[in-house]
Structure 1
Amino acid sequence: MSVNDTAPAQKGFLGFVERTGNKLPDPVFLFFYLIGGLVLISILCAVLGVSAPHPTQLNPDGSTMIVRADSLLSAANIQRLWVDMPKTFTHFHPLGYVLIVMLGAGVAERSGLFASGMRAAVRGAPTALLTPVVALIAMLSNHASDAGYVVLIPLAGILFAAAGRHPIAGIAAAFAGVSGGFSANITPGQLDALLFGITQQAVDNSGLVEGLNVNIAGNWFFISVLMVIYLPLIWFVTDKIVEPRLGKWVPSEQQAKDFGEDDKPLEPAQKKGIRNAGLASLAVIALWAFMTFGPGTPLISEEACAPGTIESGACSIHATLAPLYQSLVAAFFLLFLFAGWAYGAAAGTVKNHRDLVAMMAEAMKDMGYYLVLAFAAAHFVAMFGWSNLGFITAVHGANTIEASGLPLPVVLGLMVIFTGLLNLFVGSASAKWALMAPVLVPMLMLLGVSPEGATAAYRVGDGATNIITPLMVYFPLILIFAQRWVKDFGLGSLTALMLPYSVWLLITGVILTVGWFYLGIDLGPGAPIEFNMPAAPAAVTP
């Protein structure tokens, strides 16, 4: 079937978003331009003597420490830029987190585990439950990197057509789950490794506290509840709003033949592979449980509750389990690796260890662009810290918000909305968070919000508007999937189709974020939403 070569131009606000976003440079060069602007601002602020009092540190004479803006063209900062360039890049926290997880996920994806697992999950769904099953698997598929977009979304259209329903509704439900529900999931995964790596970098560069570690499970409870809320919402919007507007689906003879050929059941070897992958996953989970509760307890910090720490208040269940939280990156690496290996050995896609190594190498090749982006982002984040502008902005921003009298839950809700609007222009989740985290994380810490709380609010806004911006990298691909079924389906058609999802995802995300903070529930194991700044000793006037 032929498809439109070009999509019609958007008008109105969405047209403005499309035109403005297309004028933005590639995110890599966006960071380089921002570095240039940062250098100029740092010089100006240093000349003007811009400063802020440190909330927790004093000078040796007991007076309040004043943090001043530092020019990035000072001799010390120029030396740091060139001498520490390898360290600045390789010590960028998200880099190690993401690469390790992707080594395992690359095997699971290339062995066919992710694709077969999604096909098996949605093919047998009853017609009445087809929408929620598609939405659920779509959200879970975010562990599968790009497989959710490439495999599940076109498959959902085929399954809806086979069930006598409009295939565009299936594409919409899957797209809403994969991209709109980007952060909703039952367990942490690659996205958590990426975002919390950036959050950790922001905490380290803030200068507010030392030794504060965030972990990959820091939003586990929150994203699980997010999935529970998003699932019936996507179900309702699909069945009650989107599909009725599409009307009854009447396929052509060629279309009926096409989706009949595409909707093939799994081969016996693939079914065996999925069973073996499940057993391999259980083995990894059992290994981690043994290392946590078995003899020697290598993933339990017994020193955290040694004599002396109890009296000082340093002993807590979170401190005791800190090694377990910090080991979860390695746990997900092994989980994906062995599950993919077990599937591939049964399905015939992994014949020997050389195939395994080749798949891991291919996964690293796919990370080439991310490495370039990480290099630029690492230097922007580091230089922002060297200039002290992030700290100063955070202190004054916190004071302004505090003086405004806005309740903190409202502040977090506004942050969700702001992130959703920014997402219309800058699509990359990591690029946006690398831009925002150096200011927002320390600012919210000063206001009593934990780094995990700031990350949770960010990811809600980041996901909700993915599905209506033409700048989302997979937007053109989804358009092609839709044009397979409706030839004249254009960019405006897709945006209008997904707008109800985006509005309701954003509304419910804001309500959940605000309500969660009011209730003060932990966002994940060892991750309270509130943060208490260490008390500073009383200042002494010299």
Structure 2
Amino acid sequence: MPPANDRDREAPARRRAFDRFLDGVEWLGNLLPHPVTLFALLALFIVLLSGLLAGLGLAVPDPRPEGAPGRAADGMIEVVSLLNGAGLRRILENLVTNFSGFAPLGTVLVAMLGVGVAERSGLLGAVIRAMVLRAPPRLVTAVIVFAGVVSNTAAEMGYVVLIPLAAAIFLALGRHPLAGLAAAFCGVSGGYSANLLIGTVDPLLAGITEAAAHIIDPDYFVHPAVNWYFMMTSTVIITVLGTWVTLNIVEPRLGRYDPAQASENLDEARRLEPLTATERRALAWAGASALGIAALVALMVVPSWGALRTPGVAEGIEAILPFLRGIVALVFVFFLVPGFVYGRLAGTMRSDRDVIDAMARSMSTLGLYIVLVFFAAQFVAFFGWTQLGQIVAVLGAQFLQDIGLTGPLVFLPFILMCMLINLSLGSASAQWAVTAPIFVPMLMLVGYSPEVIQAAYRIGDSTTNLITPMMSYFGLILAFASKYVRNLGIGTLIASMLPYTIAFALGWIAWFYVWVFALGLPVGPAAPTYYPAG
């Protein structure tokens, strides 16, 4: 296999064309403002637009039946202007409650308190090292991809710990370190929405989805585990596809690694650190505590007399509503207790002060997120007050019906659109906060549930994370890669990751249609596929 630079000389025209395409994507992405600024501008735009459209008298027929909550007596949905005295008073009076009552805010903060303890104690890092370093050589690639997917439970842990570790592991095995980096990156970022566990992104997205669903159905409830079944099986899909692409496309393309390409001494990278006896003991006890918590929760949910079941209700979603509504608190406990057990036995946590410090540090990392949520909450609230979301949903649904695109194929352009938007707006929550108020009501009106719509969105949001410089950790990955290949360019990194994006898009979309429509399986517990439109 010729080295990468030889192949570049063999096909310079193709490379120049591809580089121009990448430059164009980066240029377009750089035209967008910071997500915080974007939400502030969108909120202002909604206020101005509501005044204009209300003045023009825009209205559409309300598709909801007579007597439905929120339906006007004349059966029409009209634009409510915020560009007047009443609108100004409403904005000022609700500015704080829009922020404090924004559904994703509290759920993410609570979940991150527990995750912060598990991360600070070293538990999450130890789990990743145990999974990767003890894997048989033939399974190292698959284990790295799988570990990358699972690491998403703890947000940036995969980016900061696993990706550089995977490159070092491949180097120690005599393989190209960038292939290891790519395998970990594809799992962490390309498989961002797949996981075996409920992570911090699940309550975040569920809160935004629920707020969008309220445009059509004010009583609709979306719990954090609505995509759990589909995302658990997606973990297998991403692991298989990521392993295949690494072994058959990326690693052969990179060829044999020449240490002379490195920008620094690699001796340190060659020294991998397996778990010590103390860490193994601590990890075993942490695992035992996690199993104990899971058994206790099962005891409170499965039996009809369980404390986390609705008294007097035997079956259906109503029977387990207390469990579903409390799942964020359970995630907090699930990470807090094993995290402290590990830290106490490993010597990284000795008192309650260490636990408190870990929680405080996890909150400090969410400063930018909290600022973003403030403006996102205003945008979502303004959008709902003006009824523009309902009007767009009705018009969009009518358009889909007019062109006959109301069957399952409607999700294909929706996923592709999400993939395209993600190239310029790399934040999962930011993108969904903008698009959910439009597409959730629209697709509800043609008969699909918010749970299924959210699952489809997560495919589009994850698959193009690998090839966009707008992804917040892209610069960090480039820095890791430059350690092994000096002067590595953005185009080289994106070209290495593009095969994963293509494979994930094709395979994951196909699996979505198989799971939801061919097999007719729910995407999560108590998650219907269809919504009774009309």
- 56, 66, 83: which one pairs with 1:73? 83
Aligned partner of residue 440 in structure 1, secondary structure: helix
In structure 2, distance between residues paired with 1:63 and 1:470: 50
Q: CA deviation at 1:63?
A: 6.3
Pairing 1:105–2:104 present: no
Aligned partner of residue 523 in structure 1, secondary structure: coil
- 210, 219, 222: which one pairs with 1:214? 222
The answer on whether the counterparts of 1:409 and 1:513 sit within 8 Å (CA) in structure 2 is no
Q: Tell me which residue corresponds to 2:7.
A: none
The CA deviation string for residues 444-483 of structure 1, in whole angstroms up to 9 with x for no partner, is 1111111111110111000000010111111111111111
The CA deviation string for residues 463-508 of structure 1, in whole angstroms up to 9 with x for no partner, is 0000101111111111111111111321111010001001111112
Q: Tell me which residue corresponds to 1:392.
A: 391
Q: Tell me which residue corresponds to 1:430.
A: 429
Q: Tell me which residue corresponds to 1:183.
A: 193
Q: Tell me which residue corresponds to 2:407.
A: 408
The answer on whether the counterparts of 1:135 and 1:231 sit within 8 Å (CA) in structure 2 is yes
433-442 or 518-527, which moves further after superposition?
A: 518-527
Q: CA deviation at 1:19?
A: 1.3
In structure 2, distance between residues paired with 1:64 and 1:521: 40
Which amino acid is 1:45 matched to?
L
In structure 2, distance between residues paired with 1:488 and 1:293: 57
TM-score (norm 2): 0.93
In structure 1, distance between residues paired with 2:65 and 2:133: 60
The CA deviation string for residues 254-301 of structure 1, in whole angstroms up to 9 with x for no partner, is 75522233x111222211221121112112112211222458422111
Q: CA deviation at 1:135?
A: 0.3
The answer on whether the counterparts of 1:138 and 1:178 sit within 8 Å (CA) in structure 2 is yes
The answer on whether the counterparts of 1:441 and 1:451 sit within 8 Å (CA) in structure 2 is yes
209-218 or 163-172, which moves further after superposition?
A: 209-218
Q: Tell me which residue corresponds to 1:246.
A: 254
- 307, 313, 316: which one pairs with 1:298? 307
- 114, 135, 153: which one pairs with 2:145? 135
Q: CA deviation at 1:116?
A: 1.3
Pairing 1:276–2:275 present: no
Consecutive unaligned residues in structure 1, runs of 5 or more: 1-7, 306-315, 536-542
Which amino acid is 1:328 matched to?
I
In structure 2, distance between residues paired with 1:182 and 1:393: 30
TM-score (norm 1): 0.91
In structure 1, distance between residues paired with 2:17 and 2:374: 35
Q: CA deviation at 1:368?
A: 1.1
Pairing 1:229–2:237 present: yes
The CA deviation string for residues 119-178 of structure 1, in whole angstroms up to 9 with x for no partner, is 111001111111100000000000121110011001001111111111110000000000
- 51, 66, 70: which one pairs with 1:43? 51
In structure 2, distance between residues paired with 1:39 and 1:491: 39
Aligned partner of residue 350 in structure 1, secondary structure: coil
Percent identity between matched residues is 43
- 149, 164, 168: which one pairs with 2:178? 168
Aligned partner of residue 46 in structure 1, secondary structure: helix
Q: CA deviation at 1:94?
A: 0.3
In structure 2, distance between residues paired with 1:532 and 1:218: 18
Aligned partner of residue 321 in structure 1, secondary structure: helix
Q: CA deviation at 1:75?
A: 2.8
Q: CA deviation at 1:247?
A: 0.8
The CA deviation string for residues 92-133 of structure 1, in whole angstroms up to 9 with x for no partner, is 000011011001001111111111111111001111111100
The CA deviation string for residues 291-312 of structure 1, in whole angstroms up to 9 with x for no partner, is 224584221113446xxxxxxx
Aligned partner of residue 188 in structure 1, secondary structure: coil
The answer on whether the counterparts of 1:9 and 1:491 sit within 8 Å (CA) in structure 2 is no
Aligned partner of residue 226 in structure 2, secondary structure: coil
Alpha-carbon RMSD across the aligned residues, in angstroms, is: 2.0
Which amino acid is 2:221 matched to?
N
Pairing 1:480–2:488 present: no
Evaluate the alpha carbon distance shift between residue 303 and residue 76 of structure 1 in structure 2; reply closer, same or farther with a 3 A threshold: farther
224-233 or 94-103, which moves further after superposition?
A: 224-233
In structure 1, distance between residues paired with 2:457 and 2:42: 21
Q: CA deviation at 1:51?
A: 1.3
Pairing 1:257–2:267 present: yes
Q: Tell me which residue corresponds to 2:166.
A: 156
The CA deviation string for residues 379-412 of structure 1, in whole angstroms up to 9 with x for no partner, is 0000000100001000110111111112432111
Q: Tell me which residue corresponds to 1:459.
A: 458
Q: Tell me which residue corresponds to 1:289.
A: 298
Q: Tell me which residue corresponds to 1:56.
A: 64
Which amino acid is 1:152 matched to?
L
Q: Tell me which residue corresponds to 1:522.
A: 522
The answer on whether the counterparts of 2:35 and 2:430 sit within 8 Å (CA) in structure 1 is yes
Q: How many equivalent pairs are there?
A: 514
Q: Tell me which residue corresponds to 1:532.
A: 532
Pairing 1:341–2:340 present: yes
Q: Tell me which residue corresponds to 1:19.
A: 27
Aligned partner of residue 274 in structure 2, secondary structure: coil
Aligned partner of residue 521 in structure 1, secondary structure: coil
In structure 2, distance between residues paired with 1:63 and 1:212: 22
Q: Tell me which residue corresponds to 1:322.
A: 321
Runs of 4+ in 1 over 6 A off after TM superposition: 59-63
Q: CA deviation at 1:64?
A: 5.4
In structure 1, distance between residues paired with 2:73 and 2:369: 45
Aligned partner of residue 67 in structure 1, secondary structure: strand
In structure 1, distance between residues paired with 2:74 and 2:281: 66
Q: CA deviation at 1:88?
A: 0.9
Aligned partner of residue 84 in structure 1, secondary structure: helix
Aligned partner of residue 340 in structure 2, secondary structure: helix
In structure 1, distance between residues paired with 2:63 and 2:242: 44
Evaluate the alpha carbon distance shift between residue 454 and residue 62 of structure 1 in structure 2; reply closer, same or farther with a 3 A threshold: closer
Which amino acid is 1:110 matched to?
R
The answer on whether the counterparts of 1:292 and 1:324 sit within 8 Å (CA) in structure 2 is yes
Q: Tell me which residue corresponds to 1:450.
A: 449
Q: Tell me which residue corresponds to 2:6.
A: none
In structure 1, distance between residues paired with 2:90 and 2:148: 45
